[in-house]
Amino acid sequence: MPDTQLLPHAAHKLRPRWIILGGLCIFGTILAVGTFMRIHARHQLHAVNVAALVPTVSIVHPGGHAADTLVLPGLLQAWYSAPVYARTNGYLRRWYVDIGQKVEEGQLLAEIDTPDVDLQLAGARAALGTRTAQRDLARITSRRWDRLIAQNAVSQQETDERRGNFAASEAARHEAAADVERFETLSGFKRIIAPFSGVVTSRATDIGALIVAGTATSQPLFTVSDVTRLRLYVRVPQAYAARMHEGFQAQFTVPDYGGRRFDAHLLHSADAVDSQSGTMLVQLVHDNTDNLLKPGAYAQIIFTFRGPGPDAPPSVRIPASCLLFRRDQTTVALVDGQNHARIQHVSILTDFGTELEVTGLTPQSRIIDTPPDDISEGDPVRPHEGQHAP
């Protein structure tokens, strides 16, 4: 009987304990769940931070060789061009050809009136006659004294003097004959003739003009040019010098014929690079038998190259934005199979502006376009496939 009366009282005492124990369990559960969530969130934040540290990069693949074009300014020049000067003084008597006219080799272009040279020539011929007469007299005298010395009628000294006079007279006559030839040559220069067949491209004289030869201020009376072929001179950058060879075909345009292209081939090159400009002078030839083009004209020469030179190493094309400029060399950043960066040295063969032709890569290389400046060997990256290079 007493025991049954104590049970409700004991149960009344145990109820707060269960409540406290249950609250502790609930608190512990809440604490554990909160701790787990904080740790999970921390791990997620760390993973996000780690992922944020891995840069996303755009990948491009090298392109093969495509025809590249080099356009350079040049100058057309006549195959032959000769300024014709006067070789004697006088006044222009008459000219027979004007600019634009075709002439043949040896054709008379103009005549010069040379009164001074004509008088000097007449004087030289008169002097030659005098010297000839003196020579003949000395020769007769020398022969006469040779016969007298054989008869012991004169002395040996007198005979030697007569022989000496004859030799001196002969030398004086040769001198006078040379003067005659000199003035005859000068007199022949009063006829201005064409040195070769061509076109008269300039005339800088007129009838009655004073002709003064042999001075620094002398100007050519005519200019004759052979325009059946034209030379084109152009300076090629050193990067293309190795590709220039005899017979290389090129094209060019001139302003007066719009977009029409003319053919030319490389004839010679200077085979040396100018140290100041870094270029090599080359000479091309155009067949101008149709007489369409004019010497002295400005031209745009178009060189088309397909692939590298015969001795060039294997090369590919990449965008110029792929380059990494390091202190000791030029490099690019590649992505390997594990998505890690690899630094690769390259050599630039040709700079096309936005594109580069380089060696050290293959068409299968995965190149980072616009790589970060601080990228290093082995850095993880997140590649994004871009387009193939041209």
Which CATH number do you get for residue 340? 2.40.420.20
The whole-model pTM stands at 0.56
For tokens 């293959």, name the residue: 362
Q: In 3-state terms, what secondary structure has residue 44?
A: helix
Task: Look at residue 193 and tell me if it is in a domain.
Answer: no
Q: Which of 256, 275, 305 is the last residue of a domain?
A: 305
So what's the pLDDT on residue 6? 47
**Residues whose CB is less than 8 angstroms from the CB of residue 161 and which lie 6 or more positions away in sequence, other chains included:** none
Largest CA distance in the chain: 210
Q: Is residue 52 part of a domain?
A: no
**Based on the domain organization, do 365 and 322 belong to the same domain?**
yes
CB 358 within 8 A of CB 349: yes
CB 165: neighbour CB atoms within 10 A? 18
Cβ proximity of 350 and 239 under 8 Å? yes
User: pLDDT tens track of the chain, all 390 residues?
Assistant: 444 444 555 555 556 766 777 777 777 777 777 777 777 667 666 555 555 567 788 888 887 655 567 889 999 999 989 999 988 888 999 999 999 899 999 999 999 998 888 898 999 999 999 999 999 998 998 888 888 888 888 888 888 888 899 899 999 999 999 999 999 988 888 899 999 999 999 999 899 988 888 776 778 899 999 999 999 999 988 878 888 888 889 999 999 888 889 999 999 888 888 888 889 999 999 999 888 998 988 999 998 876 555 555 667 888 888 888 877 788 888 888 888 888 888 888 777 778 887 888 888 888 888 888 888 888 888 887 765 444
**Which backbone phi and psi does 367 adopt, to 5 degrees?**
-105, 140
β-strands 382-388, 56-61 pairing: parallel
324, 378: one domain = yes
How many domains is the chain partitioned into structurally?
Answer: 2
In terms of domains, do 323 and 382 share one?
Answer: yes
- Kindly state whether residue 201 falls inside one of the protein's structural domains: no
From 305, 329, 351, give the residue that closes a domain.
305
Full residue range of the structural domain in which residue 287 is found: 230-305
